[in-house]
Amino acid sequence: MALSATIFKATLSVADMDRAYYADHALTLARHPSETDERMMVRLLAFALHASEQLQFTRGLCVDDEPDLWEKDLSDRILLWIEAGLPDERRIRKACARAERVVIYAYGGHQAELWWQRTAPDLKRFANLEVVNLSRAATQALAGLADRGMALQCTVQESQIWLSDEKTTVLVEPQIWRPVQ
């Protein structure tokens, strides 16, 4: 018998002063049985950083040709493709060909650094690609916020991110490994 996804509900209040975006979102996240709380919370953080009415979670790990999140226009063109983790070069190439903009949120500490050293030379030709690294300490702290019913506030100012619930605040300072060209 196949294991089913675990459903998490989140109310997320976003105050992104860098983008002048302020909104509340009621989100449902399906955590695949093979997904960790850390990865799920990286997906939630990515949502907060790119929040819009059109941004949505996809079927993610269950489907090979979909990212973790995407934003499409009314004609079904992919405006934004977001991946969490360390995708292989073939997947990145496919994403860059299909979407106007691709953002990868890499995490995993030393493993992410090794992935970047190995993958970076092959990514130079993709002008629509951005790669952001999240520190191991930050993503593990984010995992501590995971709960089946979350009420979270996200504040973004000068590229610093504070994600908090009623008890804990996590500071995330992303490192841009590769900005969009």
In a domain, 12, yes or no: no
In a domain, 15, yes or no: no
Beta-strand pair 78-84/69-72: antiparallel
C-alpha 174 chain-centroid distance? 12
Query: Quick one: average pLDDT of 68-87?
Result: 96
pLDDT reading at 1 higher than 80: no
Alpha carbon distance 65, 101 (integer Å): 16
Alpha carbon distance 96, 148 (integer Å): 33
Which structural domain, as residue segments, surrounds residue 132?
34-153+165-178
In a domain, 54, yes or no: yes
User: Which CATH number does the domain housing residue 70 bear?
Assistant: 3.10.640.10
In a domain, 47, yes or no: yes
In a domain, 19, yes or no: no
Judged by phi (left if over 0) then psi (alpha if -120 to 50, else beta), residue 102 lies in: beta
3-state secondary structure the chain: CCCCCEEEEEEEEEEECCCCEEEEEEEEEEECCCCCHHHHHHHHHHHHHHCCCCEEECCHHHCCCCCCEEEECCCCCEEEEEEECCCCHHHHHHHHHHEEEEEEEEECCHHHHHHHHHHHHHHCCCCCEEEEEECHHHHHHHHCCCCCEEEEEEEEECCEEEEECCCCEEEECCEEEECCC
pLDDT averaged over every residue in the chain: 94
Q: Are 158 and 124 in contact (CB under 8 A)?
A: no
In a domain, 75, yes or no: yes
- Tally of domains within the chain: 1
In a domain, 169, yes or no: yes
Tens of pLDDT along 147-174? 999 999 999 999 999 999 999 999 999 9
Tens of pLDDT along 115-144? 999 999 999 999 999 999 999 999 999 999
In a domain, 28, yes or no: no
Query: Quick one: average pLDDT of 41-52?
Result: 98
